[in-house]
Structure 1
Amino acid sequence: MSVKLSRTSIIIRALAWFIPFMSLAQQPDPVLKELINKALEKSHSLNINNLSSEQVRKDQQLAKAVFIPKVTFSGSFTRLDDDITFDENTQNLLIGAQQLLIKEAIGLPFNSPFPSNIPLTEVPNLQDKNILRSAVDLDWILFSGFEARNAIKASKHKEASLNYLGIAERDKIALKIIETYDKLALVHASKKVLNTTDKYLKEQENYVKKAIENGLATPISRKKIELAQQQLASKELEFNQNITLLIEVLHQLTDESRKDLALLNPQLQSFSNITDSVEKRNEIKALEEAEQATIYLSKMEKSSFIPKIALKGHYEFIEDDLSLLDPKWFIGVGIRWNVFDGFESKLKSEKSILESQKYRAQIEEAEEMIALSIVKAQLEYESSLQNTKMIEKEIDLASATYTMVNKQYKNNLAAINDVLDALTDLEKANFKLQQSYFNQRSALTAMLHAKGVLKSFYN
């Protein structure tokens, strides 16, 4: 879905026709910065990373929920094949004991006959065959043996690792936008050379046509001009295809409309200075947080041998169907101590430690590669600066040559072809300068990325 542009955004794009491309060492180009922010908003990889972070936060909440009391309501109905009762001898014993107590209460000797007019209470069933139950249970972990605490810490470090990976992904997206934007500027710069070449060929075509009419040239010369025009047409087609492709890339990355992107006309400039500040790369921070997460996972596995304490409660709402041995309610505190689990926790802890060692090795490797990339980018930047100085000298020479030949032409001391050749050389030298600026920008963005300070483009 195309993102609608605000009025301010449209004005910025209109100004892009007239405002030259600003230096990376100074304030970023507002159009470029806006495109980067649009790409960050649209990025699927960043959205996936954010969802992963949200999942980890849910894991933290689950770990904390271990200490929240769990209350469960239950209900059931059971029908047994028969009532559960005492055996006949036990029932006779209980009836006899009841008669003795009654005779003692009314003052009869224990060996006298029991009065027939006094009713006896039947011996109750141990459990009726129809059982209706309704109860509530309480389970409350009071101490988890530090397992939950270590799980929470491991989850927090995992979340931090994902957040740093998200920031690193933002840098990659910014680099992609900058590269595409610079290529667009370089392609636009090539258009001027194509226009100059086209003008040159038209002049040459007229010259050759007259020369053939006057017998001063052969049709071979005309065929050479036609071949050069076909080659120019091929380059113009390539130019249009490059513009279309770059606009399509920007559209896919930012969701901006192709029509608005076609209005962009960025320009390249050299840089006066660069930043010396260096910050730890987010990739390194992500690996360090992941390392800490595995360390706490190892501690969590070791914590399985620490005794756990929990509170248990139970209450029966229906008392009538309880057996003679069932309590209506109870509450108690218990302890669970995992003394030996077949080395399972030990092996899991050692596995987590090995994982943390892998992260440490990756950190050391990444630090070495980043240090090398900083040196490489610095050397490439210095080379591009030197190349720019050399091309500027070429431009000075081409400009002076063009000025001289043009004066000679005006004084009938040179042919128009000489003027056009000098003009073409000047335009080509100017395009080489644009290529040099492009190389400067590539080296500088690589250096800023390696130093961890590229975020100035979208913050």
Structure 2
Amino acid sequence: MNINKVTLNCVLLLLATVIPTVISAQELDPILKDLIHKGLHKNYTLKRNQIESEQAKVDQQMAKSVFLPKITFNGSYTRLNDDITFDDDTQTLLIETQKLIIKDAIGLPFNSPFPEDIPLQEAANLQDKNILKSSVDLDWVLFSGFEASNALKASKHKESSLNYAGLAEADKLALQIIETYDKLALVKASEKVLTTTENYLNEQAYYVKKAIENGLTTPISRKKIELAQQQLAAKQLDFRHKNTLLIEVLHQLTGEPKARLKLLNPELHVFSFSDASNTEKRNEIKALEEAEKATNYKVKLEKSSFIPKIAIKGHYEFIEDDLSLLDPQWFIGAGIKWSIFDGNTSRLKSKKTQLESQKLRAQITDANEMIALSITKAQLTYEAALENTKIVEKEIELASDTYDLINKQYKNNLASINDVLDALNDLEKANFKLQESFYNERRAVADLRHAKGILTY
């Protein structure tokens, strides 16, 4: 085989493997999108956040239910040691009063003896010793002093805060999966670079073998080639280990079977960031703002404890026979509850919650400043990565030309095998640097879009 043709084929293979496609926007490939969605479905933090959001919805229902009437059915049986009756003097008074009423009714004088043939009625028990009760109670809050309405609004904002916090957590998880996927693509691309280097070394080994057979070089040159091949094998083993580790990380993040992940062959498609002026409020900020609103309504809730509350209460007894002489069969009434002084409990709780609101406001200010800094940092990193890519492409061109030149000189006995291997090593390093530059571009675009609140997946 013609040596120059082998070299040309290797260069073409290198260009085909290391120069990625430029995408006009952050368009993730379908496989990566699928991995992100599986990761979002698997993530336990997001599941816990969803449960907390459902709890906030339940709190809203509880706040609304304050104004629903509460109806309670009661039943009981009680046995006293004896009937509850009037004392002897009261019973005697009741009997004598009964006699006077009867004598007056039949026309007998006041001081005449009472007729023995007229029966008298014993005084009724105040309460029989066997008591069977069955009743229903009604409790209905008409006005809660705005406590219920403030609790409802606080719960709604808490739910919104939890939802935005969940979206922020989803963004972080998506970034983590994208980064791991890109690292896997970097490893795959780097392995292709090593394959190209291996082809170069095989070419040199073939040439050295022929040169030794013709007495044009010494076996030491072959040993140097063998050492370079052994060092290359060590690099290939290192990249295989990195590939295995990244597969494990993706499996942990997404739950996707390892067998399927091993079949992935991602590529470093470079993103161009065209919507630099587009910025939206980050989910982290939205979550903090909603939490602040929820805290402010909690302050109002605690202050409203001093506002009078109005409620209706009703009661009805189904069994009338076992009621005492003093028990009504039914009643209904309206009441007001007005807390004038509770030992400063509500005031202190309100003050503590106000401090919590101030803390959230400080967090919002700090978060906005950190986001502005992260946008600047990501923008600078992206611009630096773009410039670095141009430089490395020139380095590859120079390293490739240098290798070709030294290789020709070596074949004409004008350079040593060490010079050839050094030139090949420089070409390999330049190719690695190009892959890393592509990786850094993708990372910078993803970080910039996340910082601007426009990350899509």
Deviation at 1:419, TM superposition (A): 8.0
- Which structure 2 segments of 5+ residues have no match? 1-16
> What SS is found at the alignment partner of 1:265?
coil
Is the 1:21–1:266 Cα contact (8 Å) retained in structure 2? no
> What SS is found at the alignment partner of 2:270?
coil
Over the aligned positions, Cα root-mean-square deviation in angstroms equals 2.8
- TM-score normalised by length of structure 1: 0.88
**1:59-458 aligned within 5 A:** 59-207=59-207, 221-275=221-275, 276-401=277-402, 425-426=426-427, 428-454=429-455, 456-457=456-457
> What SS is found at the alignment partner of 1:325?
coil
Q: For 2:170 and 2:84, locate their aligned partners in 1 and report how far apart those are by CA, in whole Å.
A: 72
Deviations for 1:11-47, whole angstroms, at most 9, x for unmatched residues? Answer: xxxxxx9x96663725322221121111111111111
Instruction: Summarize the Cα distance change of 1:268–1:360 in structure 2 as closer, same or farther, 3 Å threshold.
Output: same
> What SS is found at the alignment partner of 1:333?
strand
Deviation at 1:115, TM superposition (A): 1.6
Q: For 2:130 and 2:221, locate their aligned partners in 1 and report how far apart those are by CA, in whole Å.
A: 114
> What SS is found at the alignment partner of 2:271?
coil
Q: For 2:222 and 2:397, locate their aligned partners in 1 and report how far apart those are by CA, in whole Å.
A: 33
Instruction: Summarize the Cα distance change of 1:396–1:225 in structure 2 as closer, same or farther, 3 Å threshold.
Output: closer
Is the 2:185–2:266 Cα contact (8 Å) retained in structure 1? yes
- Which structure 1 segments of 5+ residues have no match? 1-16
Q: For 2:377 and 2:65, locate their aligned partners in 1 and report how far apart those are by CA, in whole Å.
A: 50
Identity of aligned residues (%): 68
Q: For 2:323 and 2:211, locate their aligned partners in 1 and report how far apart those are by CA, in whole Å.
A: 122
> What SS is found at the alignment partner of 1:323?
coil
> What SS is found at the alignment partner of 1:137?
strand
Deviations for 1:54-82, whole angstroms, at most 9, x for unmatched residues? Answer: 01111111111111111111111222222
> What SS is found at the alignment partner of 1:231?
helix
Q: For 2:88 and 2:285, locate their aligned partners in 1 and report how far apart those are by CA, in whole Å.
A: 81
Deviation at 1:116, TM superposition (A): 1.5
Is the 2:313–2:332 Cα contact (8 Å) retained in structure 1? yes
Instruction: Summarize the Cα distance change of 1:272–1:132 in structure 2 as closer, same or farther, 3 Å threshold.
Output: closer
Deviation at 1:131, TM superposition (A): 1.4
Deviations for 1:219-268, whole angstroms, at most 9, x for unmatched residues? Answer: 65555444433322221111111111111211222222222222221111
Q: For 1:339 and 1:283, locate their aligned partners in 2 and report how far apart those are by CA, in whole Å.
A: 41
Q: For 2:446 and 2:273, locate their aligned partners in 1 and report how far apart those are by CA, in whole Å.
A: 13
Instruction: Summarize the Cα distance change of 1:22–1:115 in structure 2 as closer, same or farther, 3 Å threshold.
Output: farther
Q: For 1:24 and 1:448, locate their aligned partners in 2 and report how far apart those are by CA, in whole Å.
A: 14
Q: For 2:214 and 2:395, locate their aligned partners in 1 and report how far apart those are by CA, in whole Å.
A: 38
Q: For 1:254 and 1:431, locate their aligned partners in 2 and report how far apart those are by CA, in whole Å.
A: 28
Instruction: Summarize the Cα distance change of 1:414–1:106 in structure 2 as closer, same or farther, 3 Å threshold.
Output: farther
Q: How many residues align?
A: 438
Deviation at 1:113, TM superposition (A): 1.8
Is the 2:197–2:428 Cα contact (8 Å) retained in structure 1? no
Instruction: Summarize the Cα distance change of 1:100–1:310 in structure 2 as closer, same or farther, 3 Å threshold.
Output: same
Deviation at 1:300, TM superposition (A): 0.6
Q: For 1:250 and 1:91, locate their aligned partners in 2 and report how far apart those are by CA, in whole Å.
A: 92
Is the 1:187–1:243 Cα contact (8 Å) retained in structure 2? yes
Deviation at 1:215, TM superposition (A): 6.7
> What SS is found at the alignment partner of 1:322?
coil
- One-letter amino acid of the structure 1 residue matched with residue 53 of structure 2: S
Q: For 1:33 and 1:420, locate their aligned partners in 2 and report how far apart those are by CA, in whole Å.
A: 42
Instruction: Summarize the Cα distance change of 1:225–1:395 in structure 2 as closer, same or farther, 3 Å threshold.
Output: closer
Q: For 2:147 and 2:230, locate their aligned partners in 1 and report how far apart those are by CA, in whole Å.
A: 75
Deviations for 1:247-297, whole angstroms, at most 9, x for unmatched residues? Answer: 121122222222222222111133333322101111111111111111111
Deviations for 1:150-198, whole angstroms, at most 9, x for unmatched residues? Answer: 1111111111110000000110011011101111111011112221333
Deviation at 1:209, TM superposition (A): 5.3
- One-letter amino acid of the structure 2 residue matched with residue 269 of structure 1: H
Is the 2:186–2:435 Cα contact (8 Å) retained in structure 1? yes
Q: For 2:451 and 2:218, locate their aligned partners in 1 and report how far apart those are by CA, in whole Å.
A: 60
Is the 2:138–2:315 Cα contact (8 Å) retained in structure 1? yes
Match of 1:9 in 2: none
> What SS is found at the alignment partner of 1:313?
strand
Q: For 2:430 and 2:356, locate their aligned partners in 1 and report how far apart those are by CA, in whole Å.
A: 55
> What SS is found at the alignment partner of 1:124?
coil
> What SS is found at the alignment partner of 2:373?
helix
Is the 1:22–1:28 Cα contact (8 Å) retained in structure 2? no
Q: For 2:128 and 2:449, locate their aligned partners in 1 and report how far apart those are by CA, in whole Å.
A: 82
Match of 2:3 in 1: none
Q: For 2:60 and 2:365, locate their aligned partners in 1 and report how far apart those are by CA, in whole Å.
A: 29
Q: For 2:63 and 2:288, locate their aligned partners in 1 and report how far apart those are by CA, in whole Å.
A: 23
- TM-score normalised by length of structure 2: 0.88
Deviations for 1:401-446, whole angstroms, at most 9, x for unmatched residues? Answer: 567678x69x979899688876665554333222111011111111
Q: For 1:449 and 1:228, locate their aligned partners in 2 and report how far apart those are by CA, in whole Å.
A: 43
Match of 2:13 in 1: none
Is the 1:193–1:428 Cα contact (8 Å) retained in structure 2? no
